[in-house]
Structure 1
Amino acid sequence: MISVPADPTGRFSEAWRQCVGTGRVELALRRDYQDSLSLLQREIGFRLIRGHGLLSDGMGVYRPYEHEGAHRVHHSFTYVDQVLDAYLETGIRPFLELGFMPAALASGEQTVFWWRGNVTPPRSPREWADLVRATLIHLIDRYGLDEVRTWPVEVWNEPNLRDFWQDADETAYHRLYEITAHTVKEVDAGLQVGGPAISPGADDWLDRFAEFTERRDVPVDFVSKHAYTSGPAQHVPFGVHQALAPASDLLDQFATPRERLKSTALARLPLHITEFNSSYRPDNPIHDTAFHAAYLAPVLAHGGDLVDSFSYWTFSDMFEEAGVPTALFHGGFGLLTHRQVKKPTYHLYAFMARMGPDLLARGDDHLVTRHADGRIAVLAWAPVDPTGQTPGPGRHALRMSLPVAAREVFVRRSTVDENHGNAYTTWRHMGSPRSPRLEQLDILHEAAEPARSHRRLTVQEGRAGLDLTLARHEITLVELTPVADETPPWWDEQRLLGRSAP
């Protein structure tokens, strides 16, 4: 029996909803993307959104030309404005990642992804600084200084990897960061700039980044890195399979930067995990499963104790780094498939959005919070076996005693598991149609909704007893609302069919 205390242990951190990832920002020009983002914001409500490609050729910002025998550059913000307008209209702000390199400004031809983002240093540091300066000045002119000061500016993406930064040249990245950070601060000292946005397994970069920025007096307002738990990819056509470390490994990765930087000038800066997930691949079927939601539940429950934000990578399967997806369910990163079919992990986030601000209890399989009006929210999850050696327990039981300031409570339970709130299972039963027909999409949307049950529970001596039995890979949200009974005194269920009063 878990006896939940009546007094909060503190405020529950909302670092989990501070930021979410997206495919390249150019995709925000598309209708399906905007529809998906609108749904996400209505039901979850993230605060910031981060994606690649703000300065890549697809956005058309850097436009060199020759005039009167001189090399000149025109900066065009047509698409930037449309993307950021779409974000702000849905109630989300950008977490600006500066990259990748416009081809005409690049020093080389190395690219990454199906859409060919250039990952080489600028051939002209001066023109790169001009590009950064012009972009930020335009954003301030359009959206206002106070607004843009709330948009973090991150310099590049995973420069420790050769795929993302030519030769993974650390010295060259430090030069890029120094030029960029000083340019940002020249525009306005109140703008937030940071990095180095490294991938897992490169924490020694943090040590040298701290030493470099302190020695050279380079501005740093926040530190960023990424976290994933998957091993080497086992390739199959249009997909991969990977072993996973326990989800606790993500929390260990979250904690590492503060430990490494505690004796440096960066020790007390905000720490942002600007990408995290289980697999780092956009074609791993694990992302589509109920297992994935139960696997990540403890990370969302505990991650805010370690970092200022941790950004799920990504909110939608509209994502083309490995090419255009070949099927509705294809192992994409998204909380949503194309056409807004919700995945189990989407519901994990939607459940989190219904938790209260007061933290009452937390453990390996549960999170209990309270709202200001007395509502209690319980998120519970079944344990998983990340090794894949077993399917995980078929049943998982929890018994709780909850503090309630009412005589009765209305209990609403929302359930997601292998067979409920799980369109992936339904899609597999359909025969895995790559492009579902409209009537099949309707069925999948229906199947994607959690199972819900409702009942009334009597409170005894200020405590409500709650017994939960969770199925394999289940996440469940139980909400207990004090009942203010307004049933009229003449109401009698026994007389519904016209029987006389006894």
Structure 2
Amino acid sequence: MTNEATQTASTAAARDNWQRRVHRRHTDTAEASPSTELPAPTDVRTESCAGFVRLDWTPVEGAAGYLVERTAADGEPQIVGHGGSDVPAVVGCAFADTGLADGIAYSYRIGAVAGAEYPAWHWSDPVTAQTSAATPAPIDVRVDAAVGTGMLDRVWYLAGSERLTQLRLDADATGHDIGAEFAAALTQAHDDLGVTHVRAHAILHDDNAVVTRADDGSLRYDFTGVDALYDRILAIGVRPVVELGFMPAALALDSEQTVFTYRGIISPPKDWSEWHDLVAALTSHLVDRYGVDEVAGWGFEVWNEPNLEVFWTGTRDDYLRLYAESARAVKGVDSRLLVGGPSTAATEWVESLAEYAEQEGLPLDFATTHTYGNLPLDVRPALARHGFPDAEIWWTEWGVGSTHFGSIHDGVAGAPFILSGLASAQGRMQALAYWVVSDHFEELGRPPRLFHDGFGLLTVGNLRKPRYWAMHLAAHLGDQVLSSSLTGDGADVLVQAWATRHDDGTVDILLWNGSVNADLMDGDPRLDRNVAVTVGGLSGSGYEVELARVDAHHSNILAASPPDVDWPDEEAFDALRAHDVLHTERLDPITPTDGIGRLDLAVPQPGVARIRLRDSAPPAAHDEETAR
């Protein structure tokens, strides 16, 4: 068999294994604690809106989120699933149910859940509504440039990354230098987006040869491979979150149990003390090499998605043992080092780990979990129920979709999705890591074409997708968040706003129009909105106005791609690079009256718009590169 045929067979086997096992979970909530039984929300209200139904309700103490049950007049009740999200529950107490047929009345009930794996024990009384056929008036957006409400939480400082061994690779079959482009992507994320930490799989994979067993049965450690990778990203300015996995073959109970084309071993260890000693040795080595003050700013995360059979062949109790051995090993080196978990898919096991850590007297410096296709739930109540009210919360994987080569990753819908998530995260968590930076990604095989709906913010060749531009616009907001409010059809649930001020007085107003409903990834004309923006508190006599856009017709590299071409040649790629820019345009200047300025614009669904107001006579020059 040729090398190419071997790689093809390996990829096919990895994909088959993934499809068979990815939805099998180790979660069992049959013995859920009584504390997870929550009352039904009250005061559920509906509003008939153009193209959707709005629902509002009162919060329930202890809720992580809320399930929305919808029933058509002639149909069966169904939980609103957002077109395939791994977690159907929604965070907050307002929701836009989109993708509905006009002229049909729908009945709704809301149920509070204590966690993604728990049921809604009690449901609200039903309410009924249908979409409106009326043309919506412009949404009223009001910003007070003189009133700050707090500082911007740059929760995107942590980003997801394919395994770091890609830094060692040369050109692939298409001529793209994987290692160089991957390093350039991390550099760009650091320099432009403000990413300071990355979390990557497989640092303990046998490709790095961290541990081998001698003929006499003793273990020998060698961390030179890890050192080279960490030295490389630290030189870029990016620190690692050390994800402890996969299992080295020398330690594995069953080394034939693997995931992905690179065959990461997903077995528990055959000897728990050997795992403990490996983690202790790695941690001690990192502290000796980089210093405890440096490593204390990293974080050690125990495993990846152990609630999925495809990532862990042990039980939940086996994972909790793995966490205990890891946490004790890390803290045994220095108590200042941070350790956390459970690093689960679909927001599960946070309560299980917190309860176990409380019972066993284990540290839980930060709780980690993942979700795709939805906004992160509120896991703080689960931590507080078990003695960890102040533990940090790091979402170490999050994205618009969880499917490899899915149908949503390259398009515009991901741009407003990202901004909704980052805004929702404010004040609720410390990190929200988008998965991942680059389309140089090998889990289920290398990209088959340039635009293949890969997870990356950047394509192979580092072209910027609409999602990247959304992150860029967030990263270039000012630090001071300004008072803002929205009213009208779609306000806060469809169209949202973020207003900030820079140190030199420049005001940014970031607007977006989106839905978590993946079935609307190409948009719904009924959800397009006009907005009327009023900015008060302006102290200058005149302002230059710049508008940046991300939508189907602006800052959308996919629209410039030649049709039916898997891999553009050099000339076509140069043409794509010429289109790889953020669309900006100058609008008419604003001369405030009594400190108030106004402007109107349209925001399609999906779409993003950023209004930047610069004093016509600022004290110093201000441009996009100094806007963070």
Give me the TM-score of the superposition, normalised by structure 1: 0.87
Cα deviation, 1:315-357, whole Å, max 9, x if unaligned, reads: 1111111111111111111000111010000000000011111
For 2:457 and 2:184, locate their aligned partners in 1 and report how far apart those are by CA, in whole Å.
13
For the pair 1:179 / 2:179, whether they are aligned, the reply is no
Q: Secondary structure, in 3 states, of the residue corresponding to 2:421?
A: helix
Q: Secondary structure, in 3 states, of the residue corresponding to 1:481?
A: strand
Alpha carbons of 1:398 and 1:156: their partners in 2 closer, same or farther (altered >3 Å)?
A: same
For 2:231 and 2:547, locate their aligned partners in 1 and report how far apart those are by CA, in whole Å.
37
Alignment equivalent of 1:23, drawn from 138, 162, 166: 162
For 1:294 and 1:331, locate their aligned partners in 2 and report how far apart those are by CA, in whole Å.
17
For 2:547 and 2:210, locate their aligned partners in 1 and report how far apart those are by CA, in whole Å.
49
> What are the within-5 Å matches in structure 2 for residues 207-356 of structure 1?
207-229=351-373, 249-251=374-376, 253=377, 255=378, 257-356=379-478
Note the aligned Cα RMSD (angstroms).
1.8
Contact persistence 1:367–1:380 (CA under 8 A): yes
Alignment equivalent of 1:467, drawn from 600, 604, 610: 600
Q: Percent identity?
A: 33
Structure 1 position 285, deviation (Å): 2.8
Cα deviation, 1:207-247, whole Å, max 9, x if unaligned, reads: 32222212211222111111113xxxxxxxxxxxxxxxxxx
Structure 1 position 78, deviation (Å): 2.4
For 1:3 and 1:185, locate their aligned partners in 2 and report how far apart those are by CA, in whole Å.
49
Cross-structure match for 2:96: none
Consecutive unaligned residues in structure 2, runs of 5 or more: 1-139, 169-178, 487-491, 620-628
For 2:394 and 2:618, locate their aligned partners in 1 and report how far apart those are by CA, in whole Å.
46
Structure 1 position 432, deviation (Å): 3.6
Cross-structure match for 2:271: 124
Q: What stretches of structure 1 move > 4 A for 4+ residues in a row?
A: none
> What are the within-5 Å matches in structure 2 for residues 67-466 of structure 1?
70-108=216-254, 109-167=256-314, 169-200=315-346, 202=348, 205-229=349-373, 249-251=374-376, 253=377, 255=378, 257-360=379-482, 361=484, 364=492, 365-384=496-515, 386=517, 388=519, 391-393=523-525, 395-402=528-535, 403-427=537-561, 430-455=562-587, 456-466=589-599
Alpha carbons of 1:441 and 1:374: their partners in 2 closer, same or farther (altered >3 Å)?
A: same
Higher mean Cα deviation, 190-199 or 87-96? 87-96
Contact persistence 2:530–2:600 (CA under 8 A): yes
Higher mean Cα deviation, 396-405 or 283-292? 396-405
Cross-structure match for 1:236: none
Higher mean Cα deviation, 435-444 or 177-186? 435-444
For 1:384 and 1:174, locate their aligned partners in 2 and report how far apart those are by CA, in whole Å.
36
Cross-structure match for 2:107: none
Alpha carbons of 1:160 and 1:378: their partners in 2 closer, same or farther (altered >3 Å)?
A: same
Paired residue total: 455
Contact persistence 1:383–1:392 (CA under 8 A): no
Consecutive unaligned residues in structure 1, runs of 5 or more: 230-248, 487-502
As a proportion of its length, which structure holds more helix?
1
- Residue identity matched to 1:20: A
Cross-structure match for 2:147: 7
Alpha carbons of 1:92 and 1:387: their partners in 2 closer, same or farther (altered >3 Å)?
A: closer
Cα deviation, 1:5-60, whole Å, max 9, x if unaligned, reads: 22112222212x23100111222331111011112222111121001101011222
Alpha carbons of 1:446 and 1:140: their partners in 2 closer, same or farther (altered >3 Å)?
A: same
Structure 1 position 446, deviation (Å): 2.1
- Residue identity matched to 2:508: A
Cross-structure match for 2:197: 48
Give me the TM-score of the superposition, normalised by structure 2: 0.70
- Residue identity matched to 2:581: E
Higher mean Cα deviation, 439-448 or 394-403? 394-403
- Residue identity matched to 1:116: R
For 1:423 and 1:432, locate their aligned partners in 2 and report how far apart those are by CA, in whole Å.
15
Contact persistence 1:418–1:472 (CA under 8 A): no
Contact persistence 2:419–2:474 (CA under 8 A): no
Cα deviation, 1:360-414, whole Å, max 9, x if unaligned, reads: 1265221111112211011111234725368323742111121322111122222
For 2:341 and 2:618, locate their aligned partners in 1 and report how far apart those are by CA, in whole Å.
55
